[in-house]
Structure 1
Amino acid sequence: MQLLVDAGNTRVKWALWDGERIVQQAALAHADLGGLAAQWAALAPTAVFAANVAGPAVRAAIEAALPLPVQWQSAQAVAGGVRNHYRHLAEQGADRWLAVLGARHLYQGDIIIANAGTALTVEALTADGDYLGGLIVPGYRLMLGSLARHTANLDRPAGAVCAFPQGTEDALASGAIDALCGAILRLHGRLAAHTGRVPLLLLSGGDAPLLQAHLPQPLRMVDNLVIYGLASVANGL
Structure 2
Amino acid sequence: MSFLAIDVGNTRLKWALYDAPRVGARLLAHGAQFLENIETLEEGDWSRLAPPQRVLGCVVAGDAVKRRVEEQLEIWDVTPQWVVSSAAEAGLTNGYDHPARLGSDRWVAMIGARHRLLARGRQRPCVVVMVGTAVTVEAIDAEGRFLGGIILPGHGIMLRALESGTAGLHVPTGEVRDFPTNTSDALTSGGTFAIAGAVQRMFENLRRHCGEEPVCFMTGGAGWKMAPSMSTPCELVESLIFDGLLEIAQRRWAPSLAPAR
TM-score in same-fold range (> 0.5): yes
- Matched positions, count: 237
Corresponding residue for residue 39 of structure 2 = 34
- Asked whether the equivalents of residues 158 and 172 of structure 1 are also in contact (C-alpha less than 8 Å), the reply is no
Q: Distance in 2 between matches of 1:197 and 1:24?
A: 39
Match of residue 199 from structure 2: 184
Task: Give matches, 1:60-71, under 5 Å.
Answer: 60-66=67-73, 67=76, 68-71=78-81
Partner of 2:183: 168
CA distances 1:174-232 after superposition (whole Å, capped 9, x unpaired): 11000011111100000000111111110111111221112246421111321111111
How far apart in 1 are the matches of 2:108 and 2:147? 14
Match of 1:127 in 2: 142
Secondary structure of the 1:33 match is: helix
Where do residues 1-237 of structure 1 align in structure 2 (5 Å cutoff)?
1-17=2-18, 18=20, 19=22, 20-21=24-25, 22-38=27-43, 39-41=45-47, 42-66=49-73, 67=76, 68-108=78-118, 109-216=124-231, 218-236=233-251
Question: Kindly tell me: are residues 159 and 92 of structure 1, through their superposed partners in 2, closer, same or farther at Cα, counting changes over 3 Å?
Answer: same
User: Deviation per CA, 1:92-130, whole angstroms, max 9, x where unpaired?
Assistant: 110110110011121132111000000001111122111
Contact 1:16 1:25 in 2 (8 A): yes
- CA–CA separation in structure 1 for the residues paired with 2:142 and 2:154: 28
2: CA distance between counterparts of 1:70 and 1:149?
A: 40
Offset of residue 156 of structure 1 = 4.0
Q: Do the aligned partners of residues 117 and 104 (structure 1) sit closer, same or farther apart at CA in structure 2, a change above 3 Å counting?
A: same
Q: Is the 8 A contact 1:80 1:104 kept in 2?
A: no
Further displaced range: 49-58 or 114-123: 49-58
For the 8 Å contact 2:60–2:104, the answer to whether it is kept is: yes
Confirm or deny: 8 A CA contact 1:49 1:234 kept in the other structure.
yes
Residue identity (%): 37
Q: Counterpart amino acid of 2:157? A: L
Change (3 A) 1:86 1:98: same
Provide the rounded CA distance (Å) in 2 between the counterparts of 1:168 and 1:151.
12
